C-alpha cells in the first residue's frame, strides 16, 4: 500500500463508502424481518413469515417487469428454489407500482414465463412491504434481495447478482451461517462516515479517536489500521505516538491472530524507509503466528515477510515453505510459492556474495 495522501485517501474513501450504512437505515442485519403486507398473490401460496419461523428461510427479491437486471436474475432464483426447496427455502419475488407497473402487467409477465419463473410472486399494491424492507435498509434501486433465516432474522441483503449470495444462501438453509462479522461491519459503517468527516476537516485527533473506536469493536479491521498509519505517520508525523498505539494493540490483542496479522500487514505496507518500524511489524507478525499456532497460511506468509524484512532469510524461507504447504487452492499455492522462490533467490545471491567477499 502506498501511503501518499491522495492515493491512500482515494482507496480509503472507496472502502468506507462501499461498506457504509445507507442514510436513514433503521433495519439492520440480525434484526427480525418485518411482516409482509401483500395486496395480490400472483403465483404460488401466500407467504406468512411469522408462521414460517422454525421451518422456512426466505429469499425475497424486489423486482419489476421493466427492469432488465431483474429479469436476468429470474433463472437463477428459479434454480435456487429448486435446489433448496427440500431444505425449507422459499423464494419470493415482489413487484409494486412505479414507472407504469401494474398488477395486470405482472400477471401477464408471470403467466408468459410459466415454469421458467418457478417461485412465489406477489404484487405490493400499496408499496407497504417495499417501504418496510427497502425503506428500512435505505435502498432505492432494484433488483434488491433480502435473505431471512429460520429464526426470522435478516442475514444478508444486496444485489441478487452478488456471487456471495449463493454461498450465504447455502449456509443459511443448512443453519450454519455466522452473520456476526457482517453485523459488526454494518454497525461500523456510521463510524467510517465520521472518519471521513474528520479527514475532510483535517481533525486528526478526532480521526484517530474514531479509528480507535472502530478497532475496539473490530480489532482486525484493516482499514482502521491503515487509517492510523496514515494519520500518525503522514499527517501528524508522530512516530512515538504511533509506536505507543501499536504496542497497546499488541498487548490488548496478542491472542487474536487475525487482528495481529492485520496490524502486521499495515506496518509492512509502509513504503518510506524513515517511517518504517520493522521491530513492531515483527512483534505483531510473531503474535499472529503464535495465536494461530502456525496453522494459517496467510498468517505464516506475513510472518515470513517480516523475517525477510530484517534479513532472516533462512527463517523466511522455512516459514514461506510452510505457508505453501498450508495453502488451499492452486492459485493461492502458486502465489505463495512465487514468494518462496524469490526468498530462495535472495538467499542464493547472499551466499554467492559472501563467498566472493
The pLDDT tens digits of the residues spanning 266-276 come to 999 999 999 99
Q: Is-above-0.85 flag for pTM?
A: no
What's the pLDDT tens digit per position in 105-133? 999 999 999 999 999 999 999 999 999 99
pLDDT at 18 (0 to 100): 43
For cell 457504509, the residue is 20
* Of the listed ranges 88-92, 182-186, 192-196, 230-234, the one predicted with least confidence: 182-186
pLDDT at 25 (0 to 100): 57
**CA 106 – CA 95 distance, rounded (Å):** 8
Question: Is residue 196 a part of any domain in this protein?
Answer: yes
pLDDT band, very low/low/confident/very high, at 15 (cuts 50, 70, 90): very low
Share of the chain above pLDDT 70, in %: 92
**CA 272 – CA 245 distance, rounded (Å):** 19
Asked whether the predicted pLDDT for residue 5 surpasses 50, the reply is no
Domains in the chain, number: 2
Asked whether the predicted pLDDT for residue 329 surpasses 90, the reply is no
Asked whether the predicted pLDDT for residue 2 surpasses 80, the reply is no
What DSSP designation does 59 have?
E
Instruction: State the average pLDDT over residues 38-48.
Output: 97
- In this structure, what CATH number is given to the domain that contains residue 204? 1.25.40.10
Beta-sheet pairing, 40-43 with 154-158: unpaired
Q: Are residues 196 and 155 in the same domain?
A: no
Q: Are residues 112 and 128 in the same domain?
A: yes
Task: Write out the residue range of the structural domain in which residue 145 sits.
Answer: 30-178
Indicate the residue among 131, 151, 178 that finishes a domain.
Answer: 178
Asked whether the predicted pLDDT for residue 22 surpasses 60, the reply is no
Asked whether the predicted pLDDT for residue 12 surpasses 80, the reply is no
pLDDT at 328 (0 to 100): 87
Radius of gyration from C-alpha coordinates of the chain = 25
Indicate the residue among 178, 209, 229 that finishes a domain.
Answer: 178
Indicate the residue among 148, 178, 208 that finishes a domain.
Answer: 178
CB 172 within 8 A of CB 149: yes
Q: Which residue did the predictor score with more confidence, 6 or 57?
A: 57
Question: Is residue 6 a part of any domain in this protein?
Answer: no
> In terms of C-beta density within 10 A (0-12 exposed, 13-18 middle, 19 or more buried), how is residue 15 classed?
middle
pLDDT band, very low/low/confident/very high, at 330 (cuts 50, 70, 90): confident
Q: Are residues 185 and 326 in the same domain?
A: yes
Amino acid at each position: 500500500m502506498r501511503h501518499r495522501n491522495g492515493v491512500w485517501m482515494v482507496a480509503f474513501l472507496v472502502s468506507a463508502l462501499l461498506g457504509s450504512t445507507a442514510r436513514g437505515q433503521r433495519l439492520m442485519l440480525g434484526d427480525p424481518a418485518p411482516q409482509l403486507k401483500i395486496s395480490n398473490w400472483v403465483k404460488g401460496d401466500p407467504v406468512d413469515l411469522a408462521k414460517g419461523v422454525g421451518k422456512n428461510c426466505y429469499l425475497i427479491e424486489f423486482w419489476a417487469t421493466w427492469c432488465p437486471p431483474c429479469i436476468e436474475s429470474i433463472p437463477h432464483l428459479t434454480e435456487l428454489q429448486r435446489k433448496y426447496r427440500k431444505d425449507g427455502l422459499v423464494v419470493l419475488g415482489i413487484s409494486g407500482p412505479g414507472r407504469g407497473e401494474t398488477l395486470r402487467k405482472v400477471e401477464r409477465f408471470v403467466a408468459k414465463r410459466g415454469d421458467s419463473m418457478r417461485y412465489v410472486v406477489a404484487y405490493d399494491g400499496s408499496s407497504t412491504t417495499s417501504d418496510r424492507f427497502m425503506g428500512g435498509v435505505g435502498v432505492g434501486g432494484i433488483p434488491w434481495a433480502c435473505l431471512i433465516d429460520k429464526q426470522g432474522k435478516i442475514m444478508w441483503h444486496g444485489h441478487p447478482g452478488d456471487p456471495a449470495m449463493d454461498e450465504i444462501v447455502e449456509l443459511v438453509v443448512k443453519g450454519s451461517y455466522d452473520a456476526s462479522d457482517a453485523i459488526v461491519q454494518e454497525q461500523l459503517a456510521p463510524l467510517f462516515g465520521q472518519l471521513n468527516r474528520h479527514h475532510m476537516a483535517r481533525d486528526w485527533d478526532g480521526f484517530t479517536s474514531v479509528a480507535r473506536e472502530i478497532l475496539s469493536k473490530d480489532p482486525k479491521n484493516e482499514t482502521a489500521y491503515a487509517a492510523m498509519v496514515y494519520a500518525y505517520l503522514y499527517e501528524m508525523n508522530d512516530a512515538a505516538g504511533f509506536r505507543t498505539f501499536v504496542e497497546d494493540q499488541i498487548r490488548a490483542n496478542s491472542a487474536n491472530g487475525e487482528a495481529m496479522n492485520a496490524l502486521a500487514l499495515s506496518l509492512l505496507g509502509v513504503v518510506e524507509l524513515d517511517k518504517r518500524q520493522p521491530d513492531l511489524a515483527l512483534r505483531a507478525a510473531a503474535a499472529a503466528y503464535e495465536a494461530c499456532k502456525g496453522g494459517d497460511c496467510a498468517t505464516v506468509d506475513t510472518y515470513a515477510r517480516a523475517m525477510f524484512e530484517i534479513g532472516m532469510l533462512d527463517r523466511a524461507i522455512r516459514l514461506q515453505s510452510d505457508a505453501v504447504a498450508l495453502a488451499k487452492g492452486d492459485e493461492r499455492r502458486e502465489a505463495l510459492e512465487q514468494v518462496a522462490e524469490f526468498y530462495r533467490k535472495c538467499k542464493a545471491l547472499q551466499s554467492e556474495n559472501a563467498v566472493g567477499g
